[in-house]
Amino acid sequence: MHQELSAVIFDMDGLMFDTERLGWQLLNQAGAEYGCSPISLERYTDGIGKTHTETSKIFSEICGYDYERYRAIERRFWDLDREYIRRVGPPLKPGLLDLLGTLEQRSVPCALASSTHHDRVAEHLKAAQLEAFFSVVIGGDQARASKPAPDIFLEAAEALGVPAPGCLVLEDSVAGVQAGRNAGMYVIMIPDIVEPAPDIRALADQVLGSLHDVEALITEGQLRFV
């Protein structure tokens, strides 16, 4: 059975850009400068797809929940992050450029809906020279509620002028998959660091290995855009 859709909504971190591993490394680098113990990659992933407030609660454990010191670590983290992105650019996930090119050729409208602050999303898109591919960009600070609530995806669909069932959501995080399902959209999960549990896999309409696989479904006609 072929799935007919009208638009695509992308997550950003871990889906478009390989920034989750980078973020983990930079957070521990910043923490080390303040004499803090490193956070494990497994614990770091608990914050993926969450709002700034929620991630702060998780990541501040590196300094014993000393929030004043954590705020200093966080400021240093963002300095390191901005320096890296300006100098190198965000690391692209395999298949991203090919997929965006294929969608552009078919005149498929695309939105980016990320839990990350809008300013950082815009900075990453500019550094990667991908701004032209997205007619709608929404950051976590602009959504009424964070993932797994469906708000950010529903806002993106409204801005695109496409009914929710006509949207394909591409996500890597558990919270993102739940948000897409809660929005009533077609959800493809492409796991990043954490392999999804069976119940999360069941929430996604498909679980694929990379963005190359999404493009293959489009070129083979299994995902059709109308």
What span, in angstroms and rounded, lies between the C-alpha atoms of 22 and 41? 11
Residue 35 burial by Cβ neighbours in a 10 Å radius (0-12, 13-18, 19+): exposed
98 is catalytic: no
Average confidence score pLDDT of the chain: 93
Four-residue CA torsion sign, 204, 205, 207, 213 = negative
pLDDT digits (tens, 9 = 90+) for 135-174: 999 998 888 888 999 999 999 999 999 999 999 999 998 8
pTM confidence score = 0.87
Q: Is 78 a residue whose pLDDT tops 50?
A: yes
Contact in structure between 38 and 32 (CB atoms under 8 Å) = yes
What span, in angstroms and rounded, lies between the C-alpha atoms of 198 and 118? 32
| Range of lowest pLDDT (55-59, 93-97, 156-160, 214-218) | 55-59
11 is catalytic: yes
Q: Is 196 a residue whose pLDDT tops 90?
A: no
Name beta bridge partners: 186.
168
pLDDT digits (tens, 9 = 90+) for 110-132: 999 998 889 989 999 999 999 99
Nearest to 52 by CA among 137, 146, 136, 152: 146
Q: Give residue 179's pLDDT.
A: 96
